[in-house]
Amino acid sequence: MGNMANKISDETMEYVGILAKLELSAQEKEAAKSDMEKMLDYIDTLNELDTSGVEPMSHVFPVHNVFREDVVTNGDNQEQTLANAPLRKEARFEVPKTIG
Amino acid sequence: MELLDLTAVELGKKIKSGEASVAEAVKAALARAEAVEPEINSYVTLDGAGALAQAEEIQKKIDSGELTGPLAGVPAAVKDNICVKGQLTTCSSKILSNYIPTFTAEAVKNLQKAGAVLLGKTNMDEFAMGSTTETSYYGPTKNPHNLTHVPGGSSGGSCAGVAAQECFYALGSDTGGSIRQPGSFCGVVGLKPTYGTVSRYGLIAYGSSLDQIGPVAKDVADCAAILEAIASYDEKDSTSVQRKDYDFTSALTADVKGMKIGIPRDYMREGLDPEVAGAIWDAAKVLEQNGAVIEEFDLSLVKYAIPAYYVIASAEASSNLERFDGVKYGYRTADYEGLHTMYKKTRSEGFGAEVKRRIMLGSFVLSSGYYDAYYLKALRVKALIRQAFDRAFQSYDLILGPAAPTTAPELGKSLSDPMKMYLGDIYTISVNLAGLPGMAVPVGKDRKGLPIGMQLIGNSFQEKTLLRAAYTYECATEKQYEAPADARLSGREA
């Protein structure tokens, strides 16, 4: 597996582009495909390691949900928040029509 | 001695005693920055007027006895992925080129409580993805020790800014070595704390399970004082850890008698520049002469850290960076029809090549059909890497090695071959995967005059062991912060 070169189909690239919400030019697509194939070949070196019976470790310390009372502490930032909006309409963020 | 040559703690003392004013310190740093910025480009935003206004407020609080800490009145800079309310925070990306946070990161709030004057925001690799600060939308930062070389990255602006005396200290962030590697390349002290020590609230996330904010400083005493100021338990960060000790400056004693230090053989073999290796061995000898017990050992799994890291960090990045969609803040594409076209065009125009590469890779390894083979596999390898460190710390108090395989590469030589750039992080990346504290300390220069850094790695929550060893080294070698000698760096005033 380690020395098998990865080949990614155009369909897979298309699908990953949808997941990533990125629109790549034809040239970018070719480069991205070749970059990703190289990275996956490299990542496949992990298969040299026997990890059977090893639990995946997402965090190094035990992480628990942290709960608190739902009390507002940060005041009203509406105007400052909306000031960052690329497009706003009164007290709302404006986006293109989403339902036909 | 001019103000700029002082360390942060030395300057704090002079301000406290009235020998220097906060405004004088701020003006000195601003004058220096204005003189060298055209060459170095450490800052994305330099806020002179704001800094002078803060100086006035802070001086009053020092005079009234309200602010008494070691960093009160000392001017600092903050990496541009750490939010400061009301101040442009870009992550060195086009997509956040107009983003003004409505809140301040907890680490910065802690600095403000300690009386810091914030001079501005420092340049970085876009979204902290890179090892050279060349992927910034605002142009590369240059290494103050040699302007044809990179400062390292991703906290290149913070490290170059401290090295070039454009600020007295800075905050950086470290996901795979982004404080320690540029610290090493710029000849400054940098520390990545144990995961959970410094709140990530207000740090724009790259790889959330790996990211930590940490100090960039002129010497070890400064580093300890800054860490003491920024570390805190924060209920706004669900991965924040309530520690027993926050008194990091108490570790500043020159004593390593009986300390057991392991040097991983796997770090000192092929791929390591001989001049760097020589400097690391010399540094180890200094600690040995002061009573430490030095041994070589096999850490193992070293070559698997980078591939595991790129799976995990890219996966987390692809998820974290979904929020940049042109709706609530940041850049939005000019022409679009429909919501999805707007998302795609905004992101495709707003992100640079390296960021897109990692989002694509991350989306792939998380996609159904590949999740187990790549993402879960990497998390299993991460567990094995942590176990290898656990074994090492049964025998050693700390691990000593290089921070990077070479000194700073030339500008323009790294980005054409991303794989090669990734390999430069081989000694730092496993520390993030294992959540451990790591520190870069300058230990000399190569023939070209470029700084060399050693890396000290401690067990979880053992920052004090790192600081004690680093401080002992500094005292034994009578090492003081050296300003860069580059002749083109003009602008020094009496």
Residues B182, B215: Cα–Cα separation, whole Å:
12
Instruction: Decide: B214 and B86 in contact? Cβ < 8 Å.
Output: no
What is the span of the domain harbouring residue A26? 10-48
Q: How many CB atoms lie within 10 A of CB B236?
A: 15
Cβ pair B308:A63 closer than 8 A: no
Overall average pLDDT of the A56-78 stretch: 86
Q: What is the pLDDT of residue B491?
A: 46
Q: What is the pLDDT of residue B492?
A: 46
Nearest to A54 among B195, B196, B383 (CB): B383
A84 interface with B at CB cutoff 8 Å = yes
Nearest to A51 among B357, B377, B418 (CB): B377
Residues B469, B459: Cα–Cα separation, whole Å:
14
CATH, residue B57 = 3.90.1300.10
Grade residue A54 by pLDDT with cuts at 50, 70 and 90: very high
Cis check for the bond before B238: say yes or no (omega within 30 of 0).
Answer: no
Which of B155, B178, B414, B460 is an active site residue?
A: B178
Number of compact structural domains in chain A: 1
pLDDT, tens digit, for every residue of A26-51?
888 898 999 999 999 999 999 999 99
In the stretch 231-290 of chain B, residues with CB closer than 8 A to chain A read 235, 238-239, 241
Cβ pair B376:A95 closer than 8 A: no
A71 interface with B at CB cutoff 8 Å = no
With respect to residue B95, please indicate whether it lies within any of the assigned structural domains. yes
CATH, residue A17 = 1.10.20
Q: What is the pLDDT of residue B435?
A: 97
Run means of pLDDT, 10 residues per run, chain B, 494 residues: 92 98 98 97 98 98 98 98 98 98 97 98 98 98 97 98 98 98 98 98 97 98 98 95 96 98 95 96 98 97 96 98 97 94 97 96 96 97 98 98 97 86 92 98 96 98 98 93 65 42
A16 interface with B at CB cutoff 8 Å = yes
Residues B251, B339: Cα–Cα separation, whole Å:
55
With respect to residue A82, please indicate whether it lies within any of the assigned structural domains. no
With respect to residue A21, please indicate whether it lies within any of the assigned structural domains. yes
Number of compact structural domains in chain B: 1
**Residue B356 a catalytic site member:** no
With respect to residue A53, please indicate whether it lies within any of the assigned structural domains. no
Instruction: Decide: B427 and B263 in contact? Cβ < 8 Å.
Output: no
Residue in B417, B310, B429 with CA at minimum distance from that of residue A44: B310
Q: What is the pLDDT of residue B183?
A: 98
Residue in B396, B465, B71 with CA at minimum distance from that of residue B250: B465
Q: What is the pLDDT of residue B493?
A: 41
- Chain A nearest C-alpha distance from B72 (Å): 27
**Residue B236 a catalytic site member:** no
Phi, psi values for residue B480, rounded to 5°: -120, 160
Nearest to A19 among B303, B363, B460 (CB): B363
Longest dimension (CA), chain A: 59
Residues B55, B49: Cα–Cα separation, whole Å:
10
Residues B190, B431: Cα–Cα separation, whole Å:
14
Nearest residue in A to B385, CA atom: A57
Beta strand pairing status for B169-174 and B75-79? Answer: parallel
What is the span of the domain harbouring residue B116? 3-251+459-476
Write the DSSP assignment of B87-136 as a string of letters.
B---TT-GGGTT---SS--HHHHHHHHTTPEEEEEE--SGGG--SSS-S-
With respect to residue B158, please indicate whether it lies within any of the assigned structural domains. yes
- Residue B173's DSSP bridge partners are B213
